Amino acid sequence: MRGSLLLERGPELAAAARAVEGLVAEPARGGCVLVYRGEAGRGKTALLAEIGRIAGDRCTVLAARGDETHTSVPFHVTRQLLQPALEERGLLPAPDGRGAEAVDRIAPALGLAPPPPPPAAPADPQVVRGGLVRLLDGLAARLRDRPPVLLVDDAQWADAESLAWLDAYTRTRQGGGLPVLVVLAHRPPPPEPHAPGAPATLAALGDRAVLTLGLDALTPEATAVLARDALGGHADEPFCHALWTVTSGNAYETVELLAKAREREVDPVAGSVALLRELGTGARGGGLVARLQALGAGPARLARAIAVLGPDSTPQLLRALTGMTGTELAAHTDRLRRARIVTAPDSPVTPAPSPRADPAPTTATQPARPTPAGPLEFTHPLIATAVYGSVPAATRSALHGRAARALAEAGHGPAAAARHLLAVQPADDEDAVRRLRAAAAEHLAVGAPDAARRCLDRALAEPPGPETYAVVLYELGCASLLTAPAATVRHLRSALDLPGLDDTLRVDATYRLAQVLAHSNQLGEAAGTVAAEAVRTPPGTGRRRLQAAHFMYEGFQAAEEDGPGRSRRLAELTGRLTGADNPERALLAVRAFDAMLRGEPAAEVVRLCDSALVDGAPARGLGWTDTTWGFEIPALTGIAYAFADRPDRARALFDEAVRAFEISGWSGAHLAFAHTLLGLAHRRRGDLPRAQHHLEEGLRLADRVGRGLPVHWDTACLLVDTLLARGRTAEARDVADHYAFGPPWPGAIVLPDGPSVLGRLLLAEGRHEEAAHTLEAAAEALTTRGRHHVLWAPWPFDLARALATTDPDRAARVATEARAHAERLGTPTARGEALRCLALFAAPAESRRLLTRAVAHLAESPSRYEESRARLDLAHATGSATALAEATALATTCGAVTARASTHPPE
C-alpha cells in the first residue's frame, strides 16, 4: 500500500525528476532547492522515498529526518545527512584534499570526534557553519559522477543549527548555482513563519526554492481508487465517500484505515459505514491512545518510553527506561508491531492473524520475534505526537529524568542527555545543574551556542546553589557572546553583582563584558567598566589585562574629555614594562598605537611594537584567533608599524591574520578586517593596485555579514583614499555614497581619520569650501586630543591646499606647523610629504630646493607612491623631460596617475 500514498502526486514527482535531470546534466551548478509542504499524513515521506528511488541510480542520496524529540539537539539532521557519506561510503577527504581541513575543524559537530574538553575555546558557530559549507562543496566535487541529493523529511522538526547550515549553503551558492539538489518536506509553517529562529530559516529556504509545492488532500475519486484497490472492486460509492469523510482525504490515515478494514474483513458497502467510522476513531488522537491502552499495560508503557526516547529507542535504553526484561520487551514490541503502532529497521509490520480482534498476547504456539538490534520507531509521527501528548506531565518529567541517567550510564555523554534534562521539572538538584553545565560546554565546543544557552538557562531554573549561581550566570553570558550580545551584557553584569566568582573569573567576565559593549558601539561604557574593576583587582596579570582594555577602549573613542591626560597615564604605566608576559605585551601594543596617533617619534613607536611581539610575531595567547584577548592587540601593533614607515612588518602580521582566520574558518567580519589591514600595508608601501584589491575583497566579505559594521567604515575610508591616490575620483565618490561614508561619524575612530579622508575627497572634486570646513573640523577634534600624525590624519596637507588660493598666509602657517609634526615623527614619508606641501607656498627657487629635499627623504621611504608624487612635482618645477619620464614610470608602477600634483590634492 506504500505506493498508494503517491496517488495524485504526478506534478510533484515530475518536478523532482526534472530537478534530478538538471543536476545530473550539470553536476557543478545544476542543483536547486525543492520544498514540499503538506499537513501530517499527506504522503511527504512516501514522496521523498520515491524521489530517492528516482535519483538513486545516478546520484548519491543522503537522507535525514527531523524528529519532534530532537529539535534541541544541535546538528542532529546534519549528522544524519553527512555521516554515512563520510564514514560508510569512504568519502573522508584525503589529508591534503579539498575538504580535509574542514572535516578536522568540524568533526565534533559531525559526531566524528569527541568535543574538545575544557578549557578549549568555544567553536564559533559561523566557523562551524562555514566549515560545513566547504565540506559539502568538497563532497560535491568528489561526487561529480554521482552528485549529491539531500532529502530532509519532517524539516519542521530539524534542529536550528542544521537548518542554518542548509540556509547558508544555498544562500552563498545561489549566484553560481548549486552542485547538489536539496529537497525539503515539512508541515505548513506557524502563523508567523518569519519569527526569529528555525521557522524563519525554514521560511527563507522556502523563499529560495525554485519550486515550492503544497500537497493537497486526496480527492474523493482518489480515495475511491484506494478503497477498491485494497478491499475489492465492489466497494460502493457510499462506503468510499464515508472513507473520504472520515479521513478528510489524509493519505496516511486513508491507507491505515483501509489496512484495519482489511484486517477486520470489513465488507466495503454502505452497511459497513458505521463500523468504518468506529475504526477511524481509533486511528488518531484519543482513539489511538485508547487502542494502545487496550493492548495492555506493558505495550502502553513501552510506547511511552519510545515516545520519550525518540530515535534513541534502542533495546538497551528501552530496558533501562521501562525495567523490562529482554523477553518482556520482545513480546510487547511484537504486539505494538502487529497493531501497526511501531516498526523497526528491516522489520515490516505483520498483520494480525485474527480478523475480528486486536492482536492477542504472544503464546508458546505463537512465539514473539526477537527484538531487532536497531531502534524502534512509530510508524508515523502522528502516532508519536499522540502518545507523547497522552503521558501525564509528572510521568513525562520522570521518564525524561530516567532517560537522561540511562544515556549517561550508557556512555552517551552530557550533550546526549541534555534534551531530556531540559524536559525535567526543576527540583533543586545540583547534579542536574552539573550535567547541564557539562552539556553546555559540549554544545559550545561544537559551535552550538544557542543549545548551550538553553542548557544554562535550564540550570538556572533548577536553581544552582549560592556558591555556583554566579558561575552559571558567567557561563551563560559567555555562551551568548557571539549570538546575543544584549543577553551577554545582562548575564555578565548579574554575575559580577553576586558573590561566587573568583578573581580570575571576575577579570574574564569584566573583560568579556567590555568586549561586547565596545563591539556594540558603547566604547565609553566599555572603558568605564574595565577601569572600575581594575581598581578592585589585586596587582598582577589580571589587573594589567583590565588596564590594557581600559586604555584601548578609551583610545578607540572618537571623542574623549582628556585625551592627552589618558596618553600621559598610559605612558607612565608602560614606562618600565619589557614585555615579560602577555598583559605587559598587550599594554605595550596599546601604548604603541597611542604613540603613533600622537605623532611621537617613529623610532619609539617601532621599539614599543617590537616589545609587544616575540621574535616578530604575536606571543602564544595573543594571536589573531585567541579568544582571551581578541584580535585587537596584534592589529594595533601592525597598524602602528604601518604608519611608522614599517609596512613590511605590518604586512607580515596581516598576512598571518588572513592565514589564521582562513584556517580557523573565520570568513566573516574578521577575515574582512584582515584584508582591510593588508590593504593598509600595501597602501603604505605605495602598491595601490594591490591595496585596492585587498580593500575591495574586505568590503565584499563584510557585505556578506551585514551592513554598517565597524569594518565597513575602515575599509571604505581606506578604499576612498586609495582610489583618490590612483586618480579615480568618481569611483571614490561612488564608494563613499554606497557606504554612507561621512557624517554622522561612528563613536569609534576610523582608520585612517575619516573626516581627513572625506576632506581629501571633497578637495579632489573641486569643492574647496566644503573641504576646508570638513578639514578644519577634523583639525579641531584631533588637536584637542593631541593627535598629530600627519599621515594617519593628513588634514594639514589638504587644508593648506584648500586654502592656498583664498588664504595663502594661513595655508602656509598650516603647512609649516605640519612640517614641525612631521619632523617630530621623523619618518622619511612624513618629512617628504611635509616638504612637498611647503613647496606650494615658496618662491620658485625655494620651491625647487624644498622639492629636492622632499625627493631625497622619500627615496628612503617604503612608499614608492609618495616618492613618485614628489619626483613629478620636481620634474614640473625644473622642466626636465628626463626627470618627468622617470617620475612618470615610477608613478605607473605604483598604479597612480601621472598628472602634475603640486597644485592639486593627492589624487
pLDDT above 70 as % of the chain: 90
Edge to edge, what strands does the sheet with 33-37 contain? 60-65, 148-153, 181-186, 33-37, 211-214
Q: Distance between CA 1 and CA 229 in Å, rounded?
A: 9
pLDDT above 90 as % of the chain: 65
First to last CA, the chain: 77
For the chain, the residue count is 907
* C-alpha triplet 52, 57, 59: angle, nearest 5°: 70
Task: Please answer whether residues 153 and 63 qualify as being in contact, where contact means their C-beta atoms are separated by less than 8 angstroms.
Answer: yes
**771: phi then psi, degrees, rounded to nearest 5:** -60, -45
Q: Distance between CA 689 and CA 674 in Å, rounded?
A: 17
Q: Distance between CA 1 and CA 338 in Å, rounded?
A: 16
Best CA proximity match to 721, nearest among 788, 769, 676, 671? 676
Q: Write the DSSP symbol of residue 88.
A: I
Lowest model confidence (mean pLDDT) among 21-25, 68-72, 189-193: 189-193
Q: Write the DSSP symbol of residue 312.
A: G
- Please report which confidence band the pLDDT of residue 284 belongs to, taking 50, 70 and 90 as the band edges: low
pLDDT at 363: 36
For the cut 90, the answer to whether the pLDDT of residue 266 exceeds it is: no
Q: Distance between CA 811 and CA 796 in Å, rounded?
A: 9
The whole-number average pLDDT for the span 846-867 is 96
pLDDT at 103: 66
Q: Mean pLDDT of all residues in the chain?
A: 88
For the cut 80, the answer to whether the pLDDT of residue 499 exceeds it is: yes
For the cut 60, the answer to whether the pLDDT of residue 907 exceeds it is: no
The type of residue at 593 is F
Cell of 660: 589564521
- Bridge partners (DSSP) of residue 182 are 33, 150
- Bridge partners (DSSP) of residue 192 are none
Best CA proximity match to 222, nearest among 5, 44, 8, 2? 8
pLDDT at 263: 75
For the cut 60, the answer to whether the pLDDT of residue 264 exceeds it is: yes
For residue 281, the tally of other CB atoms under 10 A from its CB is 14
Best CA proximity match to 794, nearest among 782, 804, 805? 782
Top mean pLDDT of 336-350, 645-659, 891-905 is at: 645-659
Lowest model confidence (mean pLDDT) among 149-158, 254-263, 332-341, 858-867: 254-263
For the cut 70, the answer to whether the pLDDT of residue 215 exceeds it is: no
Is the CA virtual torsion 112, 117, 121, 122 positive or negative? Answer: positive
The whole-number average pLDDT for the span 427-448 is 94
For the cut 70, the answer to whether the pLDDT of residue 364 exceeds it is: no
For residue 684, the tally of other CB atoms under 10 A from its CB is 27
Strand ranges inside 692-803, DSSP E: none
Residues with Cβ < 8 Å from 840, sequence gap 6 or more?
A: 800, 801, 804, 811, 815, 847, 902, 903
The whole-number average pLDDT for the span 490-508 is 96
- Please report which confidence band the pLDDT of residue 217 belongs to, taking 50, 70 and 90 as the band edges: confident
Cell of 121: 575555546
Cell of 411: 556512555
pLDDT at 207: 81
Lowest model confidence (mean pLDDT) among 132-141, 146-155, 185-194: 185-194
For the cut 80, the answer to whether the pLDDT of residue 356 exceeds it is: no
Q: Distance between CA 128 and CA 105 in Å, rounded?
A: 7
Best CA proximity match to 755, nearest among 744, 766, 764? 744
- Please report which confidence band the pLDDT of residue 213 belongs to, taking 50, 70 and 90 as the band edges: low
- Please report which confidence band the pLDDT of residue 175 belongs to, taking 50, 70 and 90 as the band edges: low
- Please report which confidence band the pLDDT of residue 104 belongs to, taking 50, 70 and 90 as the band edges: low
Report helix, strand or coil for 46: helix
Q: Write the DSSP symbol of residue 613.
A: S
Q: Distance between CA 681 and CA 132 in Å, rounded?
A: 32
3-state helix, strand, coil in the chain (%, to 5): 65, 5, 30
Site of grid cell 529526518 = 65
* Higher per-residue pLDDT: 198 or 884: 884
Cell of 102: 574542514
Strand ranges inside 122-260, DSSP E: 148-153, 181-186, 211-214
- Please report which confidence band the pLDDT of residue 97 belongs to, taking 50, 70 and 90 as the band edges: very low
Residues with Cβ < 8 Å from 475, sequence gap 6 or more?
A: 437, 440, 456
The type of residue at 788 is H
For the cut 50, the answer to whether the pLDDT of residue 359 exceeds it is: no
Cell of 17: 525528476
Q: What is the pLDDT of residues 219-263, one digit of tens each?
A: 888 778 878 877 888 888 888 888 888 888 776 677 777 777 887
- Please report which confidence band the pLDDT of residue 348 belongs to, taking 50, 70 and 90 as the band edges: very low
What are the start-end ranges of the H helices in 272-422?
273-281, 285-294, 297-309, 315-322, 326-338, 381-390, 393-409, 414-421
Q: What is the pLDDT of residues 747-756, one digit of tens each?
A: 999 989 999 9
pLDDT at 293: 83
pLDDT at 857: 97
pLDDT at 161: 94
Q: What is the pLDDT of residues 623-666, one digit of tens each?
A: 998 888 989 999 999 999 999 999 999 999 999 999 998 877 77
Q: Distance between CA 116 and CA 442 in Å, rounded?
A: 8
The whole-number average pLDDT for the span 118-129 is 80
Best CA proximity match to 154, nearest among 301, 29, 311, 297? 311
What is the enclosing helix (H) or strand (E) of 36?
A: strand 33-37
The whole-number average pLDDT for the span 826-842 is 97
Cell of 796: 594639514
For the cut 70, the answer to whether the pLDDT of residue 345 exceeds it is: no
pLDDT at 90: 59
- Please report which confidence band the pLDDT of residue 172 belongs to, taking 50, 70 and 90 as the band edges: confident
pTM of the model: 0.82
As to burial, measured by CB atoms within 10 angstroms (0-12 exposed, 13-18 middle, 19+ buried), residue 535 is exposed
- Please report which confidence band the pLDDT of residue 365 belongs to, taking 50, 70 and 90 as the band edges: very low
pLDDT at 695: 98
Cell of 59: 546520484
The type of residue at 425 is Q
pLDDT at 262: 80
- Please report which confidence band the pLDDT of residue 405 belongs to, taking 50, 70 and 90 as the band edges: very high
For the cut 70, the answer to whether the pLDDT of residue 367 exceeds it is: no
